[in-house]
Structure 1
Amino acid sequence: MSSISRTEGLYFPTKIPSLKDALGASLCAAMLFGLASCASTPQTAVPPPPPPKPVVQEPVNPYLIKATNRLTPPHTAGRKLVRVALLAPFSSDNPAIRNEAQTLQSAAELALFEHGDASMLLIPKDSGDTPESARDAAVDAMRSGADFILGPLFASGVTAIAPYARANDVPMFSFSTDTSEAGRDIYVLTFLPEDEARQIVRYAAEQGVKRLVVLAPEGRYGDRVAAAARETAASAGLEFMGDERYDPRSTSMTSALEVAKRVAGRVSGGNASRQTAVLIPERGAMLRAIVQTLGQSGASSRQVRYLGTGLWNDPDILNDSRMIGAWFVTPDVAARSAFEQRFSQAYQRKPTRLAGMGYDATAMLARMTREGSKSGASARAIEAQDGFIGVDGLFRFRSHVVERGMAVNEVVARGSKVVQVAPKTFQK
């Protein structure tokens, strides 16, 4: 029971609740408060982890080669080595090319013996006759740890190898006359028709020649000679009368002889003897037939000046009386003679014309990398403005292409004589 008290308009119970009832009420109140708290405080959601960043794969350079099998002979273990690979067509189907390859190797070995030390290792590799075989030889050489490459001989091989040489920072000294790949890490060390044409035309201008005609074979070789002659004539103040071309594949020489007659008609009848020159970058029987036709058609060596390249340095040509008075360029004869004597004494055979390239490239690197110091053969050292004295005289690299200091010779009775010696230093 409970009673209700009424006081001043307020109503409230007068019964006092028991302890059990109080605890129950308190517990319910606490539960209600807890529920109210849960309802009024929202839970914070944990954000999901960000998606993983996509892995960017760096492009793989297909030309990079790992040196997985560095060639190290047992007696050189623990020693710093400079490995130089010689790429040459040792297995060529052409006997003359095989002989060239073997002679290049012999010349390189001679240079290593005369200028190198025990830290340089020469690694011959067969480049074969195809671009594919040249590429395979270069890759094999790089796996063997090659620091430098000498060769190959053919332009197609140079094109196939060049990307590998550049990707792996392996300087290559090409023996091909193709200069299209010359540039970073690719050097051209050979005898270039442009170089010879420039030097003989420049000499002719200095000696009073006023006009120039080029009589050359069709094809890339003739194109290069004609372009260099035209450029040099312009800079030297010569009148360039054009270039006449013939088909060198004609077995009967009909094309060349017809062109020779046409050239003779253009240059004969000049007022001053030998003020007109005819540059003929040819060799052998073809050259002699052209000269004979020129003479018979009114343009003999008494009336015009014949100009030639190093292809003329042949006893059969130099003993032809119709060539007397002609000028042609050759490498430094004295330097070459000394090399040929040493080579013949070492190998009991005569070196080929190109053998000096193998010798010069090896000797240059051997002097630069003594005691295994590869860094000595830096681009700056290789491209030194003063150049080097090699088997064929003075040479240097300009824009990665060889420039040679050559001698000028005049054909005389029973041979030739030097009329301008090869320079010993380059003009800056």
Structure 2
Amino acid sequence: MLSVFKRARKSLGAIGAATAALILAACVPSAGPVGSGGTPSGNVQVALLVPSGSGQASDELLARSLQNAARMAIADLGGAKIDLRVYNTAGRPAQAAAMASQAVAEGAQIILGPVFAQEANAAGVAVAGSGVNVLAFSNNTDIAGNNVFVMGPTFDNTARRLASFALRQGKSKIMIVHDRNTAGELGRAAIERGVGAAGGSVVATGSYDFSQQGVTSAAPGIAAGAKSSGAQAIFLTADTAGALPLISQLLADNGLTSNAAQFVGLTRWDIPAATLGLPGVQGGWFALPDPALYAQYQNRYQSSFNEAPHPISGLAYDGIAAIGALMGKAGAGPISKQALTQGAGFVGVNGIFRLRGDGTNERGLAVAQIRGGRAVVIDAAPRSFAGAGF
């Protein structure tokens, strides 16, 4: 899918209902800002924009999880004075713009959030003249640039990591298999860029209409094209909420598995965990944040708040971690774009990351393989930007 911050499409496989529980729903109107969650005399004032007030239970869970993660990060900074103020956007662009403007008027030096791409774009536009930057919890690079940074893992970042790893394993001839929709086309383009940057070649491309009949009809031709092209790896854009369960199985039924040509996934294949048991994805590779670091975060969050963290809540922690690392450079005004894009990057619960001048990001990702229904890390996430994959 284009973003984890959009309504889930109906799955073409058997696990779609389980996956949909992890996907954020669309939003409806609601209220304004809530009280400060930090120290009123803080040295750096941070506005956290969350989707609370939409009337959607999933948005309330997400809003709570983002706030909890941000406050956990503040506590971990050990004495750093951050004045965290939380504003409810109801997931609506107009409300997000109004809340961003209000936050800046009240002294915010940087904005964390909002979640959904359209509201993040609206918030950025609303405060562009103030010099305040927006660290959005989106992975949609269409909104990146000017004063808006996307914090979520991007297609390009993932494609570069996996393509580079594939070439190091001797798999330089890549076939791309994608959905014929916006997300699939964007994924295809990202894979092409990633393969080119790694020094490989795209030897074939296969696609299918995003429907059960479309996948079923296209699978035999895709399998035949992979074999005739000599592709050593099949890079799929499909996600677990969409075509992955069906396309992986049908390719296997047509004699194409990771034993014949390595399957590589542009999206996470371990969420939900039920995906790991699908026959068609066995042996496949995908990228994910440093699992050891994230497991520590999950355990600490569960212990502190008696519930599991939302899958994207770590982005709020990462945002506070970056702000904390820059506090020595922060003055009375907005935290500058130059400071945010320092080359050394930052470390958060998802591992190392850095923000780029174009509003996108780079994250240190691990590569995992599905073996016997489990995700096994086969190439660890780098711990610095001089490490593997960069």
Q: Which residue of 1 aligns with 2:310?
A: 352
**Following the alignment from structure 1 to structure 2, what is the Cα–Cα distance between the partners of residues 397 and 124?**
23
Aligned pair 1:416/2:375, yes or no? yes
Q: Which residue of 1 aligns with 2:117?
A: 155
Offset at residue 123 of structure 1 (A): 1.0
Aligned pair 1:302/2:259, yes or no? yes
Offset at residue 195 of structure 1 (A): 1.2
**Following the alignment from structure 1 to structure 2, what is the Cα–Cα distance between the partners of residues 160 and 176?**
13
Aligned pair 1:211/2:173, yes or no? yes
Q: Which of 210, 224, 229 is the aligned partner of 1:265?
A: 224
Q: Which residue of 2 aligns with 1:426?
A: 385
Assess if the C-alpha contact under 8 Å between 1:335 and 1:391 holds in 2.
yes
Provide the TM-score with structure 1 as the length reference.
Answer: 0.75
**Following the alignment from structure 1 to structure 2, what is the Cα–Cα distance between the partners of residues 284 and 86?**
29
Q: Which residue of 2 aligns with 1:179?
A: 141
Offset at residue 82 of structure 1 (A): 2.1
Assess if the C-alpha contact under 8 Å between 2:97 and 2:124 holds in 1.
no
Deviations 1:64-83 (A, max 9, x none): xxxxxxx999984xx46422
Deviations 1:361-399 (A, max 9, x none): 012213422698456944333212111111111111122
Q: Which residue of 2 aligns with 1:83?
A: 45
Q: Which residue of 2 aligns with 1:222?
A: 184
Instruction: Name the aligned partner's letter for residue 389 of structure 1.
Output: V
Instruction: Name the aligned partner's letter for residue 256 of structure 2.
Output: A
**Following the alignment from structure 2 to structure 1, what is the Cα–Cα distance between the partners of residues 301 and 109?**
26
Deviations 1:208-241 (A, max 9, x none): 1132222222333222211121122233343313
Q: Which residue of 1 aligns with 2:83?
A: 121
**Following the alignment from structure 2 to structure 1, what is the Cα–Cα distance between the partners of residues 374 and 213?**
29
Gaps of 5+ in 2: 1-34
Assess if the C-alpha contact under 8 Å between 1:116 and 1:370 holds in 2.
no
What is the correspondence of 1:283-362 to structure 2 with a 5 Å cutoff? 283-284=240-241, 286-314=243-271, 315-362=273-320
Instruction: Name the aligned partner's letter for residue 244 of structure 2.
Output: L
**Following the alignment from structure 1 to structure 2, what is the Cα–Cα distance between the partners of residues 138 and 388?**
25
**Following the alignment from structure 2 to structure 1, what is the Cα–Cα distance between the partners of residues 133 and 38?**
26
Deviates more, 1:321-330 or 1:106-115: 321-330
Q: Which residue of 1 aligns with 2:17?
A: none
Offset at residue 359 of structure 1 (A): 0.5
Provide the TM-score with structure 2 as the length reference.
Answer: 0.82
Gaps of 5+ in 1: 1-70
Offset at residue 143 of structure 1 (A): 2.4
Higher relative contact order (CA 8 A, sep 6+): 2
Offset at residue 285 of structure 1 (A): 6.8
Residues 116 and 173 of structure 1, relative CA distance in 2, 3 Å threshold: farther
Assess if the C-alpha contact under 8 Å between 1:281 and 1:311 holds in 2.
no
Offset at residue 162 of structure 1 (A): 1.7
Q: Which residue of 1 aligns with 2:19?
A: none
Q: Which residue of 2 aligns with 1:104?
A: 66
Assess if the C-alpha contact under 8 Å between 1:368 and 1:376 holds in 2.
no
Residues 82 and 262 of structure 1, relative CA distance in 2, 3 Å threshold: same
Instruction: Name the aligned partner's letter for residue 344 of structure 2.
Output: D
Q: Which has the larger radius of gyration?
A: 1
Offset at residue 358 of structure 1 (A): 0.4
Residues 411 and 135 of structure 1, relative CA distance in 2, 3 Å threshold: same
**Following the alignment from structure 2 to structure 1, what is the Cα–Cα distance between the partners of residues 187 and 383?**
25
**Following the alignment from structure 1 to structure 2, what is the Cα–Cα distance between the partners of residues 186 and 74?**
24
Residues 155 and 243 of structure 1, relative CA distance in 2, 3 Å threshold: farther
Q: Which of 131, 138, 146 is the aligned partner of 1:169?
A: 131
Assess if the C-alpha contact under 8 Å between 2:42 and 2:83 holds in 1.
no
Instruction: Name the aligned partner's letter for residue 297 of structure 2.
Output: F
Aligned pair 1:364/2:326, yes or no? no
Residues 297 and 384 of structure 1, relative CA distance in 2, 3 Å threshold: same
Offset at residue 327 of structure 1 (A): 1.1
The DSSP-based 3-state class of the residue aligned with 1:312 is: coil
Q: Which residue of 2 aligns with 1:16?
A: none
Residues 201 and 134 of structure 1, relative CA distance in 2, 3 Å threshold: same
Q: Which of 362, 374, 379 is the aligned partner of 1:403?
A: 362
Aligned pair 1:245/2:203, yes or no? no
Cα root mean square deviation, aligned = 2.7
Deviates more, 1:210-219 or 1:170-179: 210-219
The DSSP-based 3-state class of the residue aligned with 1:303 is: coil
Q: Which residue of 2 aligns with 1:380?
A: 338
Instruction: Name the aligned partner's letter for residue 270 of structure 2.
Output: N
